Amino acid sequence: MRGWALALVLLFSSATLAWADPPIIAGAADLKFALEEIAAAFKEDTKHEVSLVFGSSGNFYRQIGQGAPFRMFLSADEGFVFKLADAGKTVDRGELYAIGRIVILVPHGSPLKADGQLNDLAAALADGRLGKFAIANPEHAPYGKRAEEALRHAGLWEKIKDKLVLGENVSQAAQFATSGGTQGGIVAYSLALAPAVARVGNYALIPDSWHEPLRQRMVLLKGADEKTREFYRYMQQPAARAIMKRYGFLLPAER
Amino acid sequence: MDWTALILSLELAAATMVVLLPIGVWAGRKLAWSRFRGKALVEASLALPLVLPPTVLGFYLLVAMGGATPLGRWYESLFGHQLTFSFQGLLVASLIFNLPFAVQPMQRAFEAIAPEVREAALCCGMSRLRLLRRIELPLAWPGILSAMVLIFAHTLGEFGVVLMVGGSIPGKTRTIAIAIYDRVQAFDTTGAGIMSATLLVISMLAIGLSYLITAPGGIRRHD
């Protein structure tokens, strides 16, 4: 009976393994649109495919620690990469690939103005125009953490705390911010620039001096194969850098 | 439409059904006809997944199957990969949360078989295997079939456990329910809408089928 069940399990595992051929790469949610474009360009140039999974960097950090079968990790916060490196889960200490920015994103028709100085947000809080406001969960999403810092800098954190809806990652926060259930949110610049998001809302950049820098670091994980290494190198090449630049990222100097 | 995810979900549902069918028949018969000490406790434990929040089950499975536990290490040494974040891990979770859906309808079906029928057959010298094949299973089949339908529909829709132990890996653990969640986050309302409609239709068919099977005047039972 048990042997029979195991045989069945093996049968199904072989069937599913055949699909999982391309290496799986974990990307921070702010890369959702940019990385998909880069992967498409990579496929065009090299005929190799990678499989992308998006989520909050903190969540990936936990999953990689628990043995998730990712080959490469593009974090939105280099701290997670360093912690994984210290735990011996990575090939090396990785490479800085981008510096991110945050924006205030408001859906069309919102009573809130897209004001990067957050003055209108303060006014909306005071006059009751603001019902709900979306950010990513600061506990494990780097962009949520930076949003919290910016709101603290503007002196709004205590007042806005009860009105926050927290996305599981910054992409969900952007979805919340534009779905009509909230009056807006603070999300990644790279998401606000994506056509799918730009269609539904306006944004304004929040000064980057208001929060710690979003130093985004990528790293190859133990067991990374040649295809993954090729993608890692590709991220540093002009084609990928041009795409990243288009999505509003500041890039480290070319080497 | 994420076909890989839909196929993965169908595979998971099929594997769950195949494994739980014999277990359900065995446990259902046992609970229907035997009296033993602690029977109420066994029945209660089998029903527990019905009320247990999926994230609670997911959390315990994550802890139990992780690489740091004896179970996790044993599995890894045997198969060379971890149980968490794999299809097999999802199958384990699926088997546990579907247990009541397999056992309870089958138990009710076996309970409905009059003891005299079985006694008569045994008196006439019918072997136990033949009794199972020729008398019990034909009489209990509506219950067995509705158990299968419930397992199928439930597996297709399960979200919480899969999210916790799966990690949304394409072709391995990204089931259709997770794919819908992912599509919404990716601002792909069309994709999410198509997949949701697909699941809605499948669920309606499944529940319709299970009502058709169990309703009096539906598919005829062997009376």
Q: What local confidence, expressed as pLDDT, does residue B69 receive? A: 83
Strand-pair partners of A106:
A202
User: Per DSSP, what are the bridge partners of residue A25?
Assistant: A52, A72
Q: A88 vs chain B: nearest CA distance in angstroms?
A: 15
Q: Flag if A51 and B170 touch (Cβ within 8 Å).
A: yes
Q: Is the Cβ pair A194, B167 closer than 8 Å?
A: no
Residue B135, domain member (yes or no): no
Domain limits for position B155? 3-30+41-109+140-214
Give domain status of residue B132, yes or no: no
Note whether A153 and A70 are same-domain residues.
no
- Say whether residue B87 is in contact with chain A using an 8 A CB cutoff: yes
- Cross-chain Cβ contact A66/B187 below 8 Å: no
Contact criterion met (CB < 8 Å) for A20 and B185: no
Q: Tell whether A27 and A76 lie within a shared domain.
A: yes
A30 and A69 assigned to the same domain: yes
Q: In a structure prediction context, what are the per-residue pLDDT tens digits for chain A, which is 255 residues long?
A: 445 555 555 555 544 444 447 999 999 999 999 999 999 999 999 999 999 999 999 999 999 988 889 999 999 999 999 999 999 999 999 999 999 999 999 999 999 999 999 999 999 999 999 999 999 999 999 999 999 999 999 999 999 999 999 999 999 999 999 988 899 999 999 999 999 999 999 999 999 999 999 999 999 999 999 999 999 999 999 999 999 999 999 999 865
Same domain, A148 and A57: no
Distance from the A203 Cα atom to the nearest Cα atom in chain B, whole angstroms = 16
B66:A68 CB<8 A = no
Looking at the partner chain, which of B84, B168, B184 has a beta carbon nearest the beta carbon of A67?
B84
| Residues of chain B found within 8 Å of residue A54, distances taken between Cβ atoms | 182, 185-186
- Pick A19's closest partner by Cβ from B4, B15, B85: B4
Note whether residue A189 is domain-resident.
yes
Q: Is residue A150 part of a domain?
A: yes
| Residue contact A171–B8, C-beta within 8 A | no
Q: For residue B84, which amino acid is it?
A: T
What are the C-alpha distances in Å from A144 to residues A135, B73, B79?
A: 6, 35, 38
Do A120 and A199 fall within a single domain? yes
Nearest CB to A53: which of B4, B86, B168?
Answer: B168
In sign, the C-alpha dihedral spanning B195, B199, B204, B206 is positive
Residues of chain A contacting B186 with CB distance shorter than 8 Å: 32, 54, 171, 196
Q: Are residues A236 and A173 in the same domain?
A: no
Q: Is residue A180 part of a domain?
A: yes
* Domain presence at residue B128: no
pLDDT per position as a tens digit, A3-55: 555 555 555 554 444 444 799 999 999 999 999 999 999 999 999 999 999 99
| Shared-domain flag, residues A133 and A202 | yes
* Radius of gyration, alpha carbons of chain A: 20
Quick one: A111 and A133 in the same domain? Answer: yes
Report if residue B220 sits inside a domain: no
A50 and A70 fall within a common domain: yes
pLDDT beneath 50, residues of chain B = 223
Strand pairing class (A95-100; A214-220): antiparallel
Domain count, chain A: 2
CATH of the domain at B73: 1.10.3720.10
Q: For every residue of chain B, which 3-state class applies, written as one string?
A: CCHHHHHHHHHHHHHHHHHHHHHHHHHHHHHHHCCCCCHHHHHHHHHHHHHCCHHHHHHHHHHHHCCCCHHHHHHHHHHCCCCCCCHHHHHHHHHHHHHHHHHHHHHHHHHCCCHHHHHHHHHCCCCHHHHHHHHHHHHHHHHHHHHHHHHHHHHHHCCHHHHHHHCCCCCCCCCHHHHHHHHHHCCCHHHHHHHHHHHHHHHHHHHHHHHHHHCCCCCCCCC
Cβ-Cβ contacts under 8 Å, A200 against chain B: 187
Burial of B128 (0-12, 13-18, 19+ CB in 10 A): exposed
Whether A55 and A123 share a structural domain: no
Say if residue A186 is in the same domain as residue A122.
yes
| ipTM field | 0.75
A123 found inside a domain: yes
The torsion of the CA quartet B68, B71, B75, B80, rounded to 10 degrees, works out to: 10
Closest-CA residue of chain A to B87: A13
Q: Please enumerate in sequence order all residues whose Cβ is within 8 A of that of B211, keeping only pairs 6 or more positions apart, or say none.
A: B218
- Cβ–Cβ below 8 Å for A169 and B170: no
pLDDT given at position B53: 93
Which among B150, B134, B194 has a CA at the least distance from the CA of B16? B150
Q: Name B111's Cβ contacts closer than 8 Å, sequence gap at least 6.
A: B32, B33
Residues A63 and A17 in one domain: yes
The tens digit of pLDDT for each residue in B147-187 reads 999 999 999 999 999 988 887 888 889 999 999 998 988 88
Percent of chain A exceeding pLDDT 70 equals 91
Segments forming the whole domain that contains residue A15 = 2-99+213-246
Q: Is residue B118 part of a domain?
A: no
Assess if residue B222 is contained within a domain. Answer: no
Report if residue B146 sits inside a domain: yes
Instruction: Give the Cα separation of B22 and B103 in Å (integer).
Output: 10
Q: Which residues in A lie closer than 8 A to residue B15 (C-beta atoms)? A: 8-9, 12
A252, part of any domain: no
Q: What is the distance between the alpha carbons of residues A147 and B24, in angstroms, rounded to a whole number? A: 51
Contact B185 A1 (CB under 8 A): no
Strand partners, A107: A201
Is residue A78 included in any domain, yes or no?
Answer: yes
- DSSP-derived pairing of the beta strands A164-167 and A133-136: parallel
Q: Tell me, yes or no, whether B134 lies in a domain.
A: no
Taking CB atoms and an 8 Å cutoff, what residues of chain A touch B172? 16, 19-20, 69
In a domain, A233, yes or no: yes
Note whether B168 contacts A: Cβ–Cβ < 8 A: yes
Contact residues, chain A, for B188 at CB < 8 Å: 196
Which residues in chain A have their CB less than 8 angstroms from residue B59's CB?
A: none
B220 phi and psi angles, rounded to 5 deg: -70, 135
For the domain that residue A129 is a member of, what is the CATH number?
3.40.190.10
Q: Does B75 touch chain A (CB under 8 A)?
A: no
The count of domains in chain B is 1
Token pair, residue B101, equals 């859906």
- What HEC string does chain A produce? CHHHHHHHHHHHHHHHHCCCCCCEEEEEHHHHHHHHHHHHHHHHHHCCCCEEEEECHHHHHHHHHCCCCCCEEECCCHHHHHHHHHCCCECCCCEEEEEECEEEEEECCCCCCCCCCCHHHHHHHHHCCCCCEEEECCCCCHHHHHHHHHHHHCCCHHHHHHHEEEECCHHHHHHHHHCCCCCCEEEEHHHHCCHHHHCCEEEEECCHHHCCCEEEEEEEECCCCHHHHHHHHHCCCHHHHHHHHHCCCECCCCC
| Cα A91 from chain centre | 22
